[in-house]
Structure 1
Amino acid sequence: MLHFIQKFSQASSKMLKYPFMVGLGASGRTETLSLKTCLQQNFSPLFLRTLPFSSFLVCMNKTQYYHTSPCSFKKKPVLPARPQKTIMYLPDSPKPALYISLAGLIPFFAPPLIMLMTETYSPVLAFTQMAYGASFLSFLGGIRWGFALPEGSPAKLDFLNLAGSIAPVVFSWLAFLISERLSEAIVTVIIGLGIALHNELFLLPHYPNWFKALRIVITLVAFLSFVITLLLKDIYPEKRPKRPGQVE
Structure 2
Amino acid sequence: MNMLSSRTPGLPLGLGLAGLLPFLLCAAIVVLMGLPWQAIALQAFIYYSAVILSFLGGIHWGVAMSLDHGGSGEFNGRMIMAMAPSLIAWPALMLDARFALLALMAGFLLVRLYERQSDSIERLPGWYRALRTLLTVVVVLIHLVLVIWLSLLPV
Give the TM-score taking structure 2 as reference length: 0.84
The question of whether the paired residues in 1 share the 8 Å contact of 2:23 and 2:48 is answered with yes
1:156 Cα offset (Å): 3.5
**Number of corresponding residues:** 147
Alignment correspondent of 1:133: 49
Alignment correspondent of 1:146: 62
Compared with structure 1, are the counterparts of its residues 117 and 177 closer, same or farther at alpha carbon in structure 2 (3 Å cutoff)?
Answer: closer
The question of whether the paired residues in 2 share the 8 Å contact of 1:131 and 1:176 is answered with yes
What secondary structure is seen at the aligned counterpart in 2 of 1:133? helix
Q: Say whether residues 1:196 and 2:111 are aligned partners.
A: yes
Deviation by residue 1:136-178 (Cα, 9 ceiling, x = unmatched): 111011111112223xx2x333211111111111111221232
1:226 Cα offset (Å): 1.0
State the AA in 1 paired with 2:97: L
- In structure 2, stretches of 5+ residues that fail to align are none
Q: Say whether residues 1:209 and 2:122 are aligned partners.
A: no
CA distance in 1, matches of 2:18, 2:128: 16
Higher helix share: 2
Higher strand share: 1
State the AA in 2 paired with 1:202: Q
Compared with structure 1, are the counterparts of its residues 234 and 163 closer, same or farther at alpha carbon in structure 2 (3 Å cutoff)?
Answer: closer
Alignment correspondent of 1:105: 20
Q: Say whether residues 1:114 and 2:41 are aligned partners.
A: no
Compared with structure 1, are the counterparts of its residues 122 and 101 closer, same or farther at alpha carbon in structure 2 (3 Å cutoff)?
Answer: same
Q: Which of 134, 139, 146 is 1:222 aligned to? A: 139
Compared with structure 1, are the counterparts of its residues 170 and 139 closer, same or farther at alpha carbon in structure 2 (3 Å cutoff)?
Answer: same
1:231 Cα offset (Å): 2.1
Question: How well do the aligned residues superpose, as a CA RMSD in angstroms?
Answer: 2.2
Structure with higher RCO (Cα < 8 A, 6+ apart): 2
- In structure 1, stretches of 5+ residues that fail to align are 1-86, 239-248
Larger Rg belongs to: 1
The question of whether the paired residues in 2 share the 8 Å contact of 1:89 and 1:209 is answered with no
1:97 Cα offset (Å): 0.6
